A = this chain, B = another copy of it.
Amino acid sequence: MSIDDIATKVSKWFQDSGQSCEIIISSRIRLARNLSNHLFTTHCSNREKEIIVSKLREAILKTSIGSISEYVDISSASQLQKELLIERHLISTHLCKGQGPRAAIISKDEVFTAMLNEEDHLRMQAILPGLQLKECWELINRIDTEIEKQVSFAFDQHLGYLTACPTNVGTGIRVSLMLHLPALKMTNQIEKLLNATKEMKLAVRGLFGEGTDALGDFFQISNQITLGIKEEQIIEKLAENLIPKIVEYELVARDHLLKHQNNLLEDKVYRAKGILENARLISSKEALFLLSNLRLGINLGKIKDVAISTINELFMLTQPAHLQKNAGMSLSPSERDELRAKIIRNKLNMRKP
């Protein structure tokens, strides 16, 4: 993988496989770690940041994932490169907006990412399509162990791993799933879901995590508690209890729509198709909404001549940075809207005789 190559492809985590993949887009686990004997990133000098990056880079590249990973110096990366990685959910805006030495190490299949000098010295994530929390955990836990053999992490016997923000102290784990819940949205049950998840100590966020709105019926659901509970327990509770319940709610809502509001459902789905196939200007926000509706239509068997893989490709490749990277030039918002509409239109009309 090279940053310059990825923009034409769909990330592995967005390729609709794994359990319940018609509702669960992806599973993600991240761990927050800090080197002992160093100040937290916020209090570091650039010199100290450089040492942290250097130590972690060396350690990570020596792990079993190191040989298939690429090191990206974020402090020298272009704005477009950074936005591309954000759009692929590989790095955070926090890392991009930071100051001084900071980097990312990304495996070629994009399943594993390590961010160096983000809020914590090290933030690692494993991301896979569908419900694959255990697989994510196996991977990230293995790499974490391999790294810990080489460096010393800040750890307290009583508290566990120490982190820059107290909400991450303990396991430093954040388990999150990206869910596609259009039927709960259409049947006005999202509020109910939000209340339920709050009671279950889960956080619900938008497509790009903290501080972003839920766009196009996509929701990120993650654990809030990192302290006083084992990683495996958090994962098991989510994977075997809470998430299957939400999936079940969505399935019931879809069934209800099919039985009692089929017209409304078909109108939504076919309108989306009609606009996507015909519009000449589409904003990224509108694309997300319309592709979300089309995805629902495919999953409910209403649309048979469009593949989910086509939808995923359009979702990913029509994002602003992807568009510009693949066009090989900087584009104004209206030029992007035009190109986005053209790509979507051509792709969807391609399947026609």
A residues bordering B, Cβ < 8 Å? 263-264, 266-267, 270-271, 273-281, 334, 338, 341
Contact = CB atoms under 8 A, between A and B. Distances in A.
A266 B278 CA distance: 9
Contact of A281 (B263, B280, B334): B263
Contact of A338 (B263, B275, B338): B263
Contact of A279 (B274, B279, B341): B274
B274 A277 contact: yes
A227 to B, nearest CB: 50
Contact of A270 (B264, B266, B278): B278
Contacts of A281: 263-264, 267
Contacts of A274: 273-279
Given A263-B338, A270-B278, A271-B279, 20 more contacts: A263-B280, A263-B281, A263-B334, A266-B280, A267-B279, A267-B280, A267-B281, A267-B341, A270-B279, A270-B280, A271-B275, A271-B278, A271-B280, A273-B274, A273-B278, A274-B275, A274-B276, A274-B277, A274-B278, A274-B279
Contacts of A338: 263
Copies of this chain per assembly: 2
Contacts of A276: 274
Contacts of A280: 263, 266-267, 270-271
Nearest to A267: B280
A61 to B, nearest CB: 48
A299 B122 CA distance: 62
The 5 residue pairs across chains A and B that have the minimum distance between CB atoms: A274-B278, A274-B274, A267-B280, A270-B278, A267-B281
Contacts of A278: 270-271, 273-274
A280 B274 CA distance: 11
Contacts of A334: 263
A279 B130 CA distance: 31
Contacts of A270: 278-280
Contacts of A266: 280
Nearest to A282: B267
Contacts of A277: 274
A329 to B, nearest CB: 18
A273 B276 CA distance: 11
Contacts of A275: 271, 274-275
Nearest to A345: B270
A223 to B, nearest CB: 40
A252 B257 CA distance: 48
A281 B338 CA distance: 28
Contacts of A264: 281
Nearest to A270: B278
A266 B337 CA distance: 13
